[in-house]
Amino acid sequence: MLSPEHELPTHRRRAASGKSWQEDDEACREAMPRFHPENWNGPGVVMYNNCYAYAFRDRSRDRSKKPQPGERAGLEAMSPEAYTCRALADRVLLDYKGVFVPATVPPPGTTEGLCPCGFSAVYLALDTENARPDYHFYRLDRRDRGDDVWSHKPGAEDAVRVDASGRPITDPRIADRDYSPGYNYRTGCGFMCVPGSSVPAADPDGSS
């Protein structure tokens, strides 16, 4: 069981009531991003659009540094040594209005019914054991056919749909998050539901 500092904030938990995006409802699923790595992995984009930008679809060609939780809300940068699940999630909730932590989650191995209609899902994990602690975000993408799959963008690297072992990510809780000798995101913080209306507008040349 996670210690209190590694639990997501209870004051922003709520039940994911209503239809879920797994149901056969195209309007509901429109809030979910599609996997378009070509929009993230090219020159001028890949270097400074990190996992946080990717998870919340905040792509920009004009960055000179990677965005951090809390910056959109006007907070000063957070020391990596102060990273906890709760502290990072609180900053996310300030950056993006309407985001909430689901009160209940499905068992590991499935994310069906995780978020309600009109919301997408992200997952936060931490490496607190590294000499320089780090966080990492994953996001759930919709597919036109087959099951939905999670993807992520490790720092300045390419956006991918596989975990550290090269396997498709069906649930980030059971994915391999150990990138040793780099980061090992052993601490799983949990899920957040993101309203489609809260993500920044997509670039004219594409989305997601």
**Would you state the pLDDT for residue 202?**
45
**Would you state the pLDDT for residue 117?**
85
Structural domain includes residue 59: yes
Structural domain includes residue 207: no
Structural domain includes residue 204: no
How many structural domains compose the chain? 1
147: containing domain: 1-199
Task: Return the closest-CA partner of residue 99 out of 148, 51, 57, 46.
Answer: 57
**Considering the entire predicted model, what is its pTM?**
0.87
DSSP 8-state symbol, 52: H
Structural domain includes residue 208: no
**Would you state the pLDDT for residue 132?**
93
Structural domain includes residue 87: yes
Structural domain includes residue 189: yes
Distances (CA, A) of 151 to 1, 37, 112: 26, 10, 16
Structural domain includes residue 107: yes
From CA 199, how far away is CA 179, in angstroms rounded?
29
Please report, in tens digits, the pLDDT of each residue of the chain (208 residues total). 444 455 666 545 555 555 554 445 666 777 788 899 999 999 999 999 999 999 999 999 889 999 999 999 999 989 999 999 999 999 999 999 999 999 999 999 988 888 888 898 999 999 999 999 999 999 999 876 666 789 999 999 999 999 999 999 999 999 999 999 999 999 999 999 998 866 664 444 445 7
Find the largest Cα–Cα distance for the chain.
46
The first and second tokens of residue 62, run together, are: 């004009």
Structural domain includes residue 120: yes
